[in-house]
A and B are shown apart, each in its own frame.
Chain A
Amino acid sequence: MSRQKPSGLAIWLGLSDNSFTRQKTVKFGDAAAVNSGRFYSLLTLAVLIVAWVVASAFELIEPFYWPSISGTWERLVKILGEGFRNTALHDHVGISVYRVLSGVFYGALVGIPLGFAMGLSSIGRGLFDPVVEFMRPIPPLALIPLIILWFGIDEFAKIFLLFLASLFIMTIAARSGVSSVRITKVHAAYSLGASKLQILRHVILPNALPEIFTGLRTSMGVCWGTVVAAELVAADKGLGSMIMIAKNFLQTDTVVIGIILIGIIGYIIELIMRRLEQWLIPWRGKG
């Protein structure tokens, strides 16, 4: 009996395994034998969309709870055209993204040197350890009331909150990157005549980059979640504020649009970070 070669499409869809996996006799328990299952992903999406279309067509759900697909589309076109509350949709998106990028930037700017100090010096470790270990388990959202009391609700307050959210993630990532350097690499560098400063610059820093980047990725994700929540509490622009204001006007369709956008943008951020990582740190995990 000859085996028929599956088509490229079938392999892409995950309906057939690639030639490598096809010849494995043991697949259960072998993580590498689990293919993309893309066909079923498309199926899930199709079921969700069909359910929405059907529910809309037969008016199965009150628009107050969940909008019709046509109504949502119309709303999206309207918001794209004239904006929401005098602000264009891309400005709502832009301001949220801007806040995240600023928060992560400042968090990295302070957190990376802090993590290096903690990983490289006993004094640095002793000084900052209590603060970092105490702040680590506190969700950034719990800090919102205090930050409002201190800084009010202007732009600075929001970026400061995101700065705090990313600061401790970045500090811990940098510290662990520094601590993970293999002593043989450091010894090798000393034996090649490198000074302490050169070892910091040419051995410890590049060695820590993969973990620093993981920290950046985590920061982005956490800050994206935090910015939306912070905007829910107090803001007049941004995706979070958009869905909160829409709720007050009982515009469920706008709320749903906002939620979908939040999901898509979060996913895009993650994809971009993964690409950047492959491009900037190709040696990751190869030491």
Chain B
Amino acid sequence: MAETAEIAIDRISMVYTLPDSEVDALNDVSLDIGKGEIMSVLGPSGCGKTTLLNIIAGFLSPTRGEVRVAGKPVKGPGAERGMVFQQGALFEWLSVTQNISFGPRMCGKDRAETADTVQRLLGIVGLVDFADKPVYQLSGGMQQRVALARCLANDPDVILMDEPLGALDALTREKMQGLVLRLWKDTGKTILLITHSVEEALFLGERLIVMAPRPGRIEKEFRLPFADEALEKPARDVKAGSEFVAAREEILSMIWDMEEEIMGDNG
């Protein structure tokens, strides 16, 4: 079977068995993500979005179903699927340069070539002057730029992002969103991004998946023009546009209803 999707999520379910119950973290989820697409995933806590990401990354194996990346079934983590985590995933005992070159060094790549790659990436993420600083001396935003560069240094086909900007202040976050968009455009990577922020999901996703909890499932999918628009006009203008605002309100009220439902169940 010829496959066109870069990431093919094929009817996966994830069931956690507890002593007195079973939790359906994911129930029969299917999704195709095309090569070079950027997709954001949104949903209230408990909807299984992080579980989904961990399954694609190969850290968890689903109870049923299968994920294929570039046609190959995912059996475990691999360098062709890069990860960017929220925070605290940098190696604080290494410098900025050593963090970025970690992947190529582990994979035994040529040293001179790696040094060139690191230099190029330092330029792209704007950290040339911080190359030899230990990462713990950097601000949160700079640390996430190191995390992006570290991931790109291995030249993965797919980049999985688990709330990469979640811990940043609002202003830094907006700037970083621009950087993520630019990297996506320049590198043509397939990107899957999990976020709590509706605005970020709208802004960064060509496609946006809203997930719902109990059981974890895909509630709705949107196709969005904003990521492409933002490549041509300023981010502020895109976010202030009436289309963007309308979409934001629609999704917010959808998630609001889900949360209400959960609260109602508990009460």
A182 to B87, CA, bound (A): 11
Q: How far is the CA of A98 from the CA of B92 in the complex (A)?
A: 34
Q: When the two chains form their complex, are residues B134 and A193 in contact, meaning their CB atoms are under 8 A apart? A: no
Instruction: Report how many A-B pairs have Cβ atoms within 8 Å.
Output: 75
> With A and B bound together, what is the CA distance between A193 and B104 in angstroms?
8
Docked CA distance A195–B107 (Å): 9
Given the complex of chains A and B, what is the CA–CA distance between A282 and B90 in angstroms? 15
> CB-nearest residue of chain A relative to B76?
A190
Given known contacts A283-B136, A286-B136, A189 and B106 CB-to-CB distance under 8 angstroms? yes
Residues in B whose Cβ lies below 8 Å from that of A187: 57, 59, 77, 83, 85, 89
For the complex, is A229 an interface residue (Cβ under 8 Å from B)? no
Q: Smallest CB–CB gap between B110 and chain A, Å?
A: 15
Chain B neighbourhood of A130, CB < 8 A: none
A185-B91 contact given A192-B103, A192-B154, A193-B103, CB 8 Å threshold:
yes
Proximity bits, A69-90, B CB within 8 Å = 1, else 0: 0000000000000000000000
CB of A191 within 8 A of CB of B88, answer: no
- The one of B57, B58, B136, B154 in contact with A287, judged by C-beta atoms closer than 8 angstroms, is B136
Secondary structure type dominating chain B contacts: loop
Task: Mark the stretch among A19-27, A115-123, A202-210 that contacts chain B.
Answer: A202-210
Assess whether A192 is in contact with B89, with CB atoms less than 8 Å apart. no
Contact code string B72-91 (vs A, CB < 8 Å = 1, else 0)? 00001111011101101111
When distances are taken between beta carbons in the complex, the residues of chain B under 8 Å from A286 are 92, 134, 136
User: Does residue A248 face the partner (Cβ distance < 8 Å to B)?
Assistant: no
* Known contacts A185-B91, A202-B91, then 20 further A-B pairs from the complex at CB < 8 Å, ordered by chain A residue: A182-B88, A185-B88, A187-B77, A187-B85, A188-B83, A188-B85, A190-B77, A191-B78, A191-B79, A191-B82, A191-B160, A192-B82, A193-B78, A198-B106, A202-B106, A207-B93, A209-B93, A281-B93, A286-B92, A286-B136
Chain B residues with a Cβ under 8 A of chain A: 57-59, 76-79, 81-83, 85-86, 88-93, 102-103, 106-107, 134, 136, 150-151, 154, 160
5 A-B residue pairs with CB within 8 Å: A182-B89, A189-B106, A191-B57, A193-B79, A287-B92
